[in-house]
Amino acid sequence: MRAEHQGDDPAAAVARELAEVVGAEHVLADPDVRAPFERDWTGRFGGPAMLVVRPKSTAEVAAVVGVCAARGVPLVTQGGNTGLVGGAVPAPADRSRAGTGAPIVVSTVRLDGLEPVDTVAAQVTAGAGVTLARVQAAAAAASLAFGVDVAARDSATVGGMVATNAGGLHVLRHGAMRAQVLGVEAVLADGSVVSRLSGLVKDNTGYDLSQLLVGSEGTLGIVTAARLRLVPAPAETVVALLGLPGTAQALAVVDTLRRKVEGLQAAELFFAGGLDLVRSHAGLPAPLPRAWPAYLVVECAGLHDPSGPLADALEGLGLPDEATAVAFDAPSRARLWAYRERHTEAISSLGVPHKLDVTLPQGRLAEFEAAVRRAVEEAAPGSTLVLFGHVGDGNFHVNVVGPGPDDDAVDDAVLRLVTAMDGSISAEHGIGRAKMRWLPLARSAAELSAMRRLKAALDPSGLLNPGVLL
């Protein structure tokens, strides 16, 4: 029964009811304590939360949803808050849903249970708040590996990665998060719990609710745990950083390596401007004896040492010695990877970035690179453009620093260019709040209508992540 107190404001009443569920110390009301949960990683998105609540179990999540549903208070689910499209933070105050005011942020970080690795099935069940780094470490301790890797591995959580269908550095080899998810446990908007954590590889018993939740960006349910597929741990890994004239040559190298080297698992492109920025931000030496217009990082891994076939393939490409750095041991590999992985933080050191993660048909990447440089200069003259990406997947990250956070002219120009070139407006980060306006460029009216009907069926009051995705 709800205990009303005279003169109580609604936030105090909700706080009291939530405290009964999770304990008062896990209901955060102090504005200074709430602040980091109210702003996203890029600094571009955010708004006030009524409260932040940190449940410890699936039952507590269900009870939190029950309290909010009864009071008509919307919820925003947040994992590691490393998402780059504003989906894990409240909308600005003036855009909060009319009548309901600021949402509650549900932080999943205390859903951090990690079961022992099932070595027979090569699977593991992880709570939504478990970080990617913990999953990777647990897999490695069992002589296995996890198929997805992103630079935000120390903070990004299983729940967030499921909800965004995270991509990352190894999609080329193992696919994105969707391919690793065998089942999900989640709390739906009515407080009911759906759970598919048995890990059955074959299970044709109707709609796949787990896969429906993958990539749903917190709009259909709160993921509380996931059953994840693990892959063989490579015995040997080799990384090469190559200096090249440009994107077309990088694509040619990837094409050759795909054919000639078993275990190609990453092919990442960046450019001279990005390298200079990373070097001055991180204080790193030049990776090669001379500068090149473009750089490709490739990683090959397998049960057998891939370094011989990789060396043969690179020799066959006729790359000069001064264009190649190769690393075999873990510290040397990490040194080469740093030039690519530290782009995100280096870009943010320049200001609040506009981040557009797009995919193009592989064969049009070089054409896109030239066109996007022109489009950005036209839409945001004098801004700084930093391009890099998972070139093996046709995925470019277009980063623009200069225009104010609310000036979306450059976003519009880039996303329309991508659409005109048969690409997708989001390769891996999702739609969030950042790209909602452009979703009709990517999805037909029939698809949008089906998506809206699904949302209405599972969350008729629109409580979960309002203003995200749809």
The one of ligand MLT, ligand FAD, none whose footprint includes residue 42, by CB under 5 to 8 A per kind, is: none
- Nearer of residues 42 and 224 to ligand MLT, judged by Cβ: 42
Residue 207: which residues within 8 A CB-CB, separation 6 or more? none
The one of ligand FAD, ligand MLT, none whose footprint includes residue 397, by CB under 5 to 8 A per kind, is: ligand MLT
Residue 47 near ligand FAD by CB under 6 A: no
User: How crowded is residue 116: how many other Cβ atoms within 10 Å of its Cβ?
Assistant: 10
- Nearer of residues 323 and 356 to ligand FAD, judged by Cβ: 356
CA distance 302 to 300: 7
Residue type, 421: M
Residue 223 near ligand FAD by CB under 6 A: yes
CA distance 363 to 361: 5
The tokens describing 249, both together, are 């040559």
* Residue 377 buriedness (CB in 10 A; 0-12 / 13-18 / 19+): middle
Residue 151 near ligand MLT by CB under 6 A: yes
The tokens describing 171, both together, are 């999609």
- Nearer of residues 171 and 380 to ligand MLT, judged by Cβ: 171
Report the residue from 17, 357, 411, 459 that binds ligand MLT according to the rule CB under 6 A.
357
Q: How far is the CB of 465 from ligand FAD (least distance, A)?
A: 5
CA distance 449 to 435: 18
CA distance 436 to 23: 36
CB 186 within 8 A of CB 194: yes
Element of type H or E holding 31? helix 31-38
The tokens describing 246, both together, are 């440009």
- Segment lying near ligand FAD (by CB under 6 A), choices 44-52, 214-222, 228-236, 411-419: 214-222
- Nearer of residues 78 and 399 to ligand FAD, judged by Cβ: 78
Place of tokens 């935000």: 152
The one of ligand MLT, ligand FAD, none whose footprint includes residue 355, by CB under 5 to 8 A per kind, is: ligand MLT
- Nearer of residues 49 and 266 to ligand MLT, judged by Cβ: 266
Residue 210 near ligand FAD by CB under 6 A: no
Phi, psi torsion values for 296, nearest 5 degrees: -120, 125
The one of ligand FAD, ligand MLT, none whose footprint includes residue 41, by CB under 5 to 8 A per kind, is: ligand FAD
Q: Which residues bind ligand MLT (CB under 6 A)?
A: 84, 151, 344, 355, 357, 397
Applying CB under 6 A, the residues found at the interface with ligand FAD are: 41, 76-84, 87-88, 108, 128, 150-152, 155-157, 159-161, 163-164, 166-168, 217-218, 222-223, 344, 428-429, 432, 465, 468
